[in-house]
Chains A and B, each alone.
Chain A
Amino acid sequence: MSESNPVLNSAAIQRALTRIAHEIAERNETSADVALVGIQRGGVPIAQRLCTLLSGIWGHTVSCGTLDVSMHRDDLDQRVAPNVQPTLIPFDVNGKIVVVVDDVLFSGRTTRAAMDALNDFGRPKCIQLAVLVDRGHRELPIKADFVGKNLPTARDQNVHVNLSEFGGTDEVVLENIG
């Protein structure tokens, strides 16, 4: 039997993203250099939403890309080959402040793969990390710059981020497997 507990509802997700957008704007004064990159798949709609919010704050359009990290993962021979989604970086990353966006930060291995993947496109001025949920249990020395919600979890729990872009309603759910 598995049991699911809601953690964030639609309004809470909206508030968290608005706050993250303002934090990104506050941290980065040279707004023209900032670009967002969403990690496939969960990070992509969040990056797009942050992009819209930031465009509103700064009054100019902000570049937004998508990144699939499958080819840079460190566990490729321990699992069935992942479905590779499109990587689309519609801007020159050289000299840019790239905010990498994901839905959940867990072991940090996806983030490491994302930094490697991004480096194939050039040398950003710096890379920052924004996540909707930080659930702990890092296996690498990686820390998010912008966090929607710190969520203490057990290793065997699952965090599901449902977004309207994938069908359904916005919510974050913590699932106990037992």
Chain B
Amino acid sequence: MSWTRKHLLDIESLTPDEIVTVLDTARAFKAVGERAIKKVPALRGKTVVNLFVEPSTRTRISFELSEQRLSADIINFTAEASSLKKGETLKDTARNLEALNADFIVIRHNASGAPHFLSRVINASVINAGDGAHEHPTQALLDAFTIRERKGRIAGLKVTILGDILYSRVARSDIWALTKLGAQVTLCGPSTLVPRTFEKMGCRVTHNVDEAIADADIINLLRIQHERQRKTMFPSLNEYSSLFGLNEARLARTKPDALIMHPGPINRGVEIDSEIADCKRSLVLEQVTNGLAVRMAVLFLVNGGKGPQEIAP
């Protein structure tokens, strides 16, 4: 069990063993966050650039704090306040950042494949913090970590992902991670947002929400992504809420130990009723806490060099 990758670009190319390595490593980093001194010197002297071409608050803050807790130096770079606005290409921006001796680039970009492109043109380690509608690997890893921590396993669990699947990079990464670890994934939502083509990724597709959640161990709700929809995929938010939103009546028909997840930000009253978002079965805030541990683990692992893993005492 070891990690030899220089980048974290997607979940699709990871082996189940590699995913488990991240989750095991994250467990140790979660313990660091529970200490009085929540900082370790693992990335001391390293420079991390957070290159957020697409706006993000929670993922950026989570990465920033993870980097600080590993003692790295940080440069934050957002599209609004940068030369990208002046027409500089992504490659030139990245080359310039590399000329500052950046060791890691954490990139959020609205174009799918941007992290893969970067990894080919620069020497720094690249970590994908979300690219278009393609993947959001650290979100999937923190979801898997949260599920494993609460349920003790992932293999054999029934996980239902409910909502806007078509435009969701979280859904794609979650599907890859959870199916690789042996979960049975069901996708549910309006037929316009959950096309049958997803069956090719090894999951079940249904448009009947009650059937989708009846025997689920985990219900993962996804936000309706207004910003990524080019045209209206369903008549109204109210209609979505009544047909697919998780409310008390629907929750009552699920397994009593089924847990609710949501990557945030929550649209209260759209995909989830306010009371359910705050109930004991909701893991929303645990996901945020675990996100730190998982991102620390990813940075720690990609920092590894090429030498042997076994070390002299």
**Is A121 among interface residues, defined by CB-CB distance under 8 A?**
yes
Residues in A with CB closer than 8 Å to B79 are none
Closest residue of chain A to B3, judged by CB? A81
Residues in B with CB closer than 8 Å to A87 are 28, 31
Given A72-B41, A106-B312, answer yes or no on A81-B28 (Cβ-Cβ < 8 Å).
no
* Cβ–Cβ contact A82 & B309, under 8 A: yes
* Cβ–Cβ contact B311 & A120, under 8 A: no
Given A83-B2, A84-B28, answer yes or no on A76-B304 (Cβ-Cβ < 8 Å).
yes
Residues in A with CB closer than 8 Å to B32 are 71
Residues in A with CB closer than 8 Å to B27 are 86
**Is A79 among interface residues, defined by CB-CB distance under 8 A?**
yes
> Which residues of chain A in 92-150 are interfacial with respect to chain B, using CB atoms and an 8 Å cutoff?
102-107, 110, 116-117, 120-122
**Is A78 among interface residues, defined by CB-CB distance under 8 A?**
yes
Residues in B with CB closer than 8 Å to A86 are 27-28, 31
Mask: chain B, 1-30; 1 = CB below 8 Å from A; 0 = not: 111100000000000000001001101110
Given A86-B27, A120-B35, A121-B35, answer yes or no on A81-B40 (Cβ-Cβ < 8 Å).
no
Residues in B with CB closer than 8 Å to A65 are none
**Is A177 among interface residues, defined by CB-CB distance under 8 A?**
no
* Cβ–Cβ contact A85 & B303, under 8 A: no
In the docked arrangement, what's the CA distance between A106 and B313, Å? 6
Mask: chain A, 49-91; 1 = CB below 8 Å from B; 0 = not: 0000000000000000000101111011111111111110000
**Is A42 among interface residues, defined by CB-CB distance under 8 A?**
yes
**Is B235 among interface residues, defined by CB-CB distance under 8 A?**
no
Closest residue of chain B to A103, judged by CB? B313
Closest residue of chain B to A120, judged by CB? B37
Residues in A with CB closer than 8 Å to B35 are 120-121
**Is B308 among interface residues, defined by CB-CB distance under 8 A?**
yes
In the docked arrangement, what's the CA distance between A81 and B29, Å? 14
**Is B301 among interface residues, defined by CB-CB distance under 8 A?**
yes
In the docked arrangement, what's the CA distance between A108 and B38, Å? 25
**Is B200 among interface residues, defined by CB-CB distance under 8 A?**
no
Mask: chain B, 232-254; 1 = CB below 8 Å from A; 0 = not: 00000000000000000000000
Residues in A with CB closer than 8 Å to B309 are 79-83
* Cβ–Cβ contact B305 & A78, under 8 A: yes
In the docked arrangement, what's the CA distance between A102 and B312, Å? 12
**Is B307 among interface residues, defined by CB-CB distance under 8 A?**
yes
Question: What number of A residues sit within 8 Å (CB to CB) of B?
Answer: 32
* Cβ–Cβ contact A80 & B24, under 8 A: no
Mask: chain B, 270-285; 1 = CB below 8 Å from A; 0 = not: 0000000000000000
* Cβ–Cβ contact A80 & B306, under 8 A: yes
In the docked arrangement, what's the CA distance between A77 and B42, Å? 9
Residues in A with CB closer than 8 Å to B31 are 86-87
Query: Which of B28, B29, B36, B305 sits near A77, CB closer than 8 Å?
Result: B305
Given A77-B303, A77-B305, answer yes or no on A42-B313 (Cβ-Cβ < 8 Å).
yes
Closest residue of chain B to A159, judged by CB? B313
**Is B198 among interface residues, defined by CB-CB distance under 8 A?**
no
> Which residues of chain B in 278-306 are interfacial with respect to chain A, using CB atoms and an 8 Å cutoff?
300-306
Mask: chain A, 25-52; 1 = CB below 8 Å from B; 0 = not: 0000000000000000010000000000
* Cβ–Cβ contact B304 & A81, under 8 A: yes
In the docked arrangement, what's the CA distance between A102 and B313, Å? 9
In the docked arrangement, what's the CA distance between A64 and B40, Å? 22
* Cβ–Cβ contact B25 & A84, under 8 A: yes
* Cβ–Cβ contact A79 & B307, under 8 A: yes
Residues in B with CB closer than 8 Å to A81 are 2-3, 25, 300-304, 309
Residues in B with CB closer than 8 Å to A102 are 313
Query: Can you list 14 pairs linking A and B with CB atoms under 8 Å apart?
Result: A71-B28, A72-B40, A77-B46, A77-B304, A79-B304, A80-B309, A81-B2, A81-B302, A83-B21, A84-B300, A110-B311, A110-B313, A116-B41, A120-B40
Q: A82-B304, A83-B24 are known; give 7 further A-B pairs, CB within 8 A.
A: A76-B300, A80-B2, A80-B305, A81-B3, A82-B309, A84-B25, A106-B312
Q: Which 6 A-B pairs have the closest CB atoms?
A: A81-B304, A79-B307, A71-B40, A84-B28, A104-B313, A80-B309
